[in-house]
Chains A and B, each alone.
Chain A
Amino acid sequence: MSDAVTAEELRKSYPGGVRALDGLTLTVRAGEVFGLLGPNGAGKSSTVKILTTLARPDSGRATVAGHDVLRHPERVRREIGVVPQRSALDPMASGRDNLTLQGRIFGVRGKALTRRVDELLDRFGLAEAAGRTVRGWSGGMQRRLDVALALVHKPGVLFLDEPTTGLDPEGRAEMWTEIGRLAADESMAILLTTHYLDEADRLAGRLAIVDGGKIVTEGTPEQLKGELRGDAVHLELRQPPDEPRARQAISHVAGLREVALEGRTLSARADDGAAAVPAALAALESAGIGVATVTVARPSLDDVYLRHAGRRFAA
């Protein structure tokens, strides 16, 4: 089977000289959930806008469901479902009207349309509210309707642009369950963007970290975490330290590598974290640098991000 999405060397700048994409390349395989992880402004949304035919890149090529997004945008549009970053419903229309119109646009008609709309309302727990105008719905319900809208025509490729941003914990949990169910449907590929590490870790089969408009690394969450040998050691210092002095002190500690200092946080990697901590503490104390807290952790996606983007993930 061919790839669901390919993007090659996408570049895009906005008026005013802001460079959103700087040679982004990615591939989403048929049937998989591909996570695009990165902080705000990294280029996730620009990528989605180009792949969903909303925006045009300055250069580069992209295909979705086998169709070139620049040469045949109308073919791409028939194949995709899009859940935008911000909810995009007709607030004065009922849930049913929203769904029905979306279905009509995709050429679903008559009984088939009624059946599909009912099916989606049921599935997303919206049947009871279906007749009421969407304006009065809760944020979580509106978000579920956004997803239902994207699915009305059974798309081959689904774009979920930060689907849980702005949801409360309960709404997020529901959305995760729903995306998990969608992922089980192997006839549909999903491109999920998120700035939540835990979300990407949990939902994506494969993921890419995007930073500064390009992909800095990609793989399965396990691969990415596995690339980092050993434990992550984080030391929270009492005060922002004098950088050379702190580095100097810590460099003598055996078993610590990849030392990074950001503000009051000193991060490093160690084959055996527990063994390295006492030595590190002693070295810092003797250099006059007080340590407030120490954590030792197995590698997380946060660490992957730190390693590839060169700074801590701050969403």
Chain B
Amino acid sequence: MTTLLTHTYWMTNRRLKVLIKQPAFVVIMLVQPAIWLFLFGNLFRRVVELPGFGGGDYLDYIVPGVVAMTAVSSSMWSGMGVLEEIERGTMNRLLTTPVARGAIMNALVMEQVLSLTVQVAAVILLGLAAGASYPGGVAGLLVLLIAALLLGTVFSALSNTVGMLARQRETIIGINTMLLLPLTFLSSAFMASSLMPSWMRTIADWNPVNWALDAARAAMTASPDWGVVLSRGAWLLGLAVVMLVLSTRTFRAYQKSV
């Protein structure tokens, strides 16, 4: 276990050193959620007036929505990192060393999780600058962050699994294009669940994006519902662990086809 942690640390360190050498990428990473916050914030501003939405300020409402969408959309490209490692031969080089197999996968997830932390902070601050209020205070924002990071872990590990098994950029691009919008709009990211058709609500109940939003929204109100926070948090954590284990298991399949 300590080996896994130490190795994950070194492997993450290795990837981050490369990441910070690409300033253009870091800028794009921050600009994208800002655009969403601006676009959706203005486009859907008046949906709060719909009967049943519950009123309030739409900007307050979509900050968690944009955070969740960012978590999914950035992390699901993680598998590209896997392909890059395979194509460069570094994957095979690492696999002939005693490095913990899990550390190779975890490092790719950690890279996403750390960049996501910066992105989430940026969205929260932008929201604040635009006049959003966070009645749940720091605790609420912390829950938002943790929920986003768990969500990022789920989709990063999923993408890594796809990358290891399919070993094709097209597959990752296809899956991401197919999944991002349904996952986002089958959740309460931009529209209150109470206004969804009932069949959509049923699907949304199974959508991890919605779990993250339920947890975040429950914690970000003036009187947080900690029961919802904990239950949704536990589901997300469970799914994240399952996906991490699954991504590491793909080395067995890789070994057969290499």
Contact = CB atoms under 8 A, between A and B. Distances in A.
Determine if chain A interacts with chain B. Answer: yes
Interface of A: 14-15, 49, 52-56, 74, 77-78, 80, 82, 84, 86-93, 97, 101-102, 104-107, 133, 149
B255 A54 contact: yes
A56 B255 contact: yes
B96 A82 contact: yes
12 contacts: A49-B258, A53-B95, A54-B95, A54-B255, A56-B256, A74-B98, A77-B97, A77-B98, A93-B14, A105-B94, A105-B98, A106-B98
Given A14-B257, A84-B89, 17 more contacts: A52-B96, A80-B96, A82-B96, A84-B92, A84-B93, A88-B89, A88-B90, A92-B21, A93-B14, A97-B17, A102-B97, A104-B10, A105-B10, A105-B94, A105-B99, A133-B21, A149-B93
A107 B2 CA distance: 13
A105 B18 CA distance: 18
A89 B90 contact: yes
Contacts of B14: 90, 93, 97, 101
B97 A105 contact: yes
A89 B17 CA distance: 14
Interface of B: 7, 10, 14, 17-18, 21, 88-90, 92-99, 255-258
Nearest to A93: B17
Contacts of A101: 10, 14
A133 B22 CA distance: 13
Given A74-B98, A82-B93, A55 B88 contact: no
Nearest to B19: A92
| B88, B94, B98 — most chain A CB neighbours (10 Å) | B98
Contacts of B21: 92, 133
Contacts of B17: 92-93, 97
B98 A55 contact: no
A129 B96 CA distance: 26
Contacts of B256: 55-56
Contacts of B94: 105
Given A77-B97, A88-B92, A105 B7 contact: yes
A129 B163 CA distance: 34
A54 B257 CA distance: 10
Contacts of A52: 96
A149 B258 CA distance: 22
A90 B18 contact: yes
A283 to B, nearest CB: 53
Contacts of B98: 74, 77-78, 105-107
A87 B151 CA distance: 36
Contact of A55 (B89, B99, B258): B258
A74 B256 CA distance: 17
Nearest to A46: B258
Nearest to B257: A15
A139 to B, nearest CB: 14
A61 B99 CA distance: 24
A61 to B, nearest CB: 17
Contacts of B89: 84, 86-88
B7 to A, nearest CB: 7
Nearest 10 Cβ contacts at the A-B interface: A88-B89, A88-B93, A92-B18, A82-B96, A52-B96, A77-B98, A105-B99, A105-B97, A55-B258, A86-B89
Contacts of A93: 14, 17-18
A18 B18 CA distance: 38
A304 to B, nearest CB: 31
B96 A53 contact: yes
Nearest to B6: A104
A289 B89 CA distance: 51
Contacts of A92: 17-18, 21
Contacts of B93: 82, 84, 88, 149
Contacts of A84: 89, 92-93
B82 to A, nearest CB: 15
| B7, B14, B257 — most chain A CB neighbours (10 Å) | B14
Contacts of A78: 98
A185 to B, nearest CB: 20
A223 B247 CA distance: 50
B107 to A, nearest CB: 11
Contacts of A15: 257
B92 A54 contact: yes
Contacts of A105: 7, 10, 94, 97-99
| A52, A77, A84, A105 — most chain B CB neighbours (10 Å) | A105
Given A55-B255, A90-B14, A93-B17, A77 B96 contact: yes
A101 B95 CA distance: 14
B255 A106 contact: no
A145 to B, nearest CB: 12
A255 B7 CA distance: 67
Nearest to A79: B98
A77 B96 CA distance: 6
Contacts of A107: 98
B75 to A, nearest CB: 21
Contacts of A87: 89
B86 to A, nearest CB: 10
